[in-house]
A and B are shown apart, each in its own frame.
Chain A
Amino acid sequence: MNPLGDNIIFDFVFPNELHVVWSVMIVLYPYITGLVAGAFIISSLYHVFERKELRSIARYSLVASLVFLGFATLPLLVHLGRPERAFNIMITPHFTSAMAGFGYIYLMYMSILAIEVWFLFRGELVERANESQGIKKFIYTALALFDLTINEETKAFDKKVITFFAAVGIPAACLLHGYVGFLFGSIKANPWWSTPLMLPIFILSAIVSGISVIIFKYFLVSYIQGFEINDKCLKTLSSFLWGFMIIDVCMELLELLSISYQQTGEWEILSYLIYQKLWIPYLVIQLGICSFIPFILLGINTIFDLKRSTARACVFISSILLLCQVLAMRWNVVIGGGMISKSMRGFSSYFPGIFEKEGLFTAFIIFTCPFIILYLVDRIFPLFKFKGYDQETVALTTDEH
């Protein structure tokens, strides 16, 4: 049974619009893609813009970015009836297929990330190859491409390469997630999507969700593994998160102002969508609770010097709320747009089932997978407690508070 009851239709809806086609899987796709772009920006802040205080999180961010990228298209494949045909758009691309373009941008970004991660781990691979024996030595040597040269010169070169790819990756990350925004923004038949502001909103929300997920996992891993959080790093992350969330939410409000001020023919249905159908997920959750509270908490944390425990609580709560904010934004965009009838005079409704193919359980499994992979990677190549981390953490944490 539909949890919303059977009265799921409002006003004039064409009979072929009863089924909302873009499901929770399509909500998850831009969400995970956004986490990729946001996490990458953090690592680039360290590698390119030399924010040294982010060192303890930069490595984790970069790997998290690659892992999330590996799962970004999985919801799309689950959504398709014949997923094996998805690759046809890459074999015979057409300019009219926006998804084919996404496929190529996705591959390009994946290559940049993979190369950067390899250079980041090369030193450790060589070191492990030299220290290991037997099959382990062979595996590490193979992963190091059978060249175990390591000296100051190679280290300096590797650092330059990492900086280069981290710099190239920034526009690539923006392009990747801007493109996801473009996929929605270019659908001119849907007034809820068709706005050029969709591109910057998606990029900014991606950065917000990416920073939030890294903060959340920083807390989680530090709790599980029992190491101390670098407060200076946290404060910097918190400041960036505050800045980006302000621009992001302002852009979302500007979009709302723009469409409401224009009072186009579609405003009648959009106003009903905003004030009635999406009252809770959009106005209350996205723009209210999940934007306003983090804005206050992060603002206080950025402007004032709070006690360590208070500051941490502020940042932790804000990160969770902003993760929900961005998820709500994806939901409101995808599902909100899907509910509007092409008649512009009615709505259908959507709520995912729990155990159906594109249901909440599947979404949970897909969203959990990158976290499990990250856990496994961390077991093999410690992403936080890497060599030299402890000394630096102590140095950075003790000069504060």
Chain B
Amino acid sequence: MFRFSYVNRILIIFFGAVVAGLVLKTAMIPESFGKYGHYRADWLSEGTQLPSIYQGKFVCQECHNEIFQTHEKDVHVSVECENCHGNGKKHVDFHKKVASASVDTSADMTASGGIKDQAKMHILKDNQTCLYCHRQLKARPKYFPQIDPDAHFELLKVKDKNTTCFSCHSPHEPLFLVKKVSESRVHPTINECKSCHDESVSEPRPENHPTIFECKYCHKGLIDDFKAKKHKFLNCTSCHNVYRISESSGYIFKNGNPKFCLMCHEDKNIVDSTKVPVIKQKEHYEMMGATPDMRCFDCHGAEKIHDISKNPFYSAGKASDTDKIEKQLQTPASHGAEIKNEQK
């Protein structure tokens, strides 16, 4: 030991701290640690005992059936409620009056941070939430809807860059589909040469080449007419939404819901009305003497969008184009036959 007592004392403190640290470290190692690997083995059983935090969409349906049904028919059908709203444990426990450790019942009922407040579901309204899936990325499959926000606002003449996605798009029914996804018509989806070939392939294709389904191959007259109209800056798929189910087929919709047109044309002060014609739906219907079941296309279709009679498959009355396309799909050399075989 040293002659000076303070040196001895500081040595005692130092080594005492080291020994105490080692003892503490040893004491704090969980009993089952290292049994199977570098982790606490007891967790394997403890983890299974934890209450389930996420409820699943069918629990939401019990109380919110209307929204559930709307959500189920649209393309967000595969996005669970809790993906955007957060887990529903406290919310469900509170409203079903389940005694649960997840809700702090000692808190006031209505105060900020109280029981009712804890039980509220999140509503994520910032654009980043939507852009997490829909931001334009080269790594995303091309058929997946994705946007460059600035270009999107520019295209739609939106004045305020802080406009939320929710100003136009309903997250529960982003495409306002009239039918459920599963009930819509199966249609060959638009394919590109590079789906099968590398990019160096050049046209013309050989005569026995399987059909590549691009809109213009079957609906040329209609598309030529569309290109002469005001909406020519849009793609066919902007309105005829495609929901891909495989590499070569998918569900296709003709969007006849007025809410779809109103995404761009409703007078909501976010769109530059000097560049995009806007209306208030109720007043417009009243003024024009339209019945509530009428679609925008019924009056504006031929003039503003495209003249349906220019469709080579069009025949007055029933939409016989479907029958003709179905017939075409029976042709052995077409992709359609392959689709049929796949589906079988």
Contacts and interface: CB of A to CB of B under 8 A. Distances in A.
A119 to B, nearest CB: 8
Interface stretch (B100-108, B130-138, B269-277): B130-138
Given A11-B138, A145-B9, A6 B4 contact: no
Nearest to B24: A91
Nearest to B162: A1
Interface stretch (B25-33, B211-219, B245-253, B327-335): B25-33
A149 B14 contact: no
A90 B131 contact: no
A111 B14 contact: yes
B4 A147 contact: yes
Contact of A346 (B9, B29, B127, B138): B138
Interface string B123-161: 000011001110111111000000011100000000001
Nearest to B18: A111
Nearest to A107: B21
Nearest to B9: A145
B29 A91 contact: yes
Contacts of A13: 137-139
Contacts of A145: 6, 9-10, 13
Nearest to B133: A15
Interface in B1-54: 4-7, 9-10, 13-14, 17, 25, 28-29, 33, 38
Most buried by A among B6, B132, B149: B6
A92 B29 contact: yes
A142 B283 CA distance: 85
Interface string A46-76: 0000000000000000000000000000000
Interface residues on A, range: 20 to 34
Contact of B4 (A1, A90, A111, A154): A154
Contact of B135 (A9, A149, A161): A9
Contacts of A15: 133, 137, 139-140
Interface string A152-170: 0010010001000000000
Nearest to B38: A94
Most buried by B among A18, A161, A343: A18
B15 to A, nearest CB: 11
A115 interface: yes
Contacts of B17: 111
A174 to B, nearest CB: 22
A155 B138 CA distance: 70
A164 to B, nearest CB: 12
A247 B269 CA distance: 60
A144 B7 CA distance: 11
A12 interface: yes
B150 A115 contact: no
Contacts of B140: 15
A147 B5 contact: yes
Contacts of A144: 6
Nearest to B132: A18
A235 interface: no
A92 B25 CA distance: 8
A13 B140 CA distance: 9
A91 B25 contact: yes
A240 interface: no
Nearest to B127: A6
Nearest to A88: B28
B4 to A, nearest CB: 6
B158 to A, nearest CB: 12
A7 B10 contact: no
Contact of B136 (A9, A91, A122): A9
8 contacts: A1-B162, A9-B137, A12-B137, A18-B132, A92-B33, A115-B10, A146-B9, A346-B138
Interface of B: 4-7, 9-10, 13-14, 17, 25, 28-29, 33, 38, 127-128, 131-133, 135-140, 148-150, 161-162
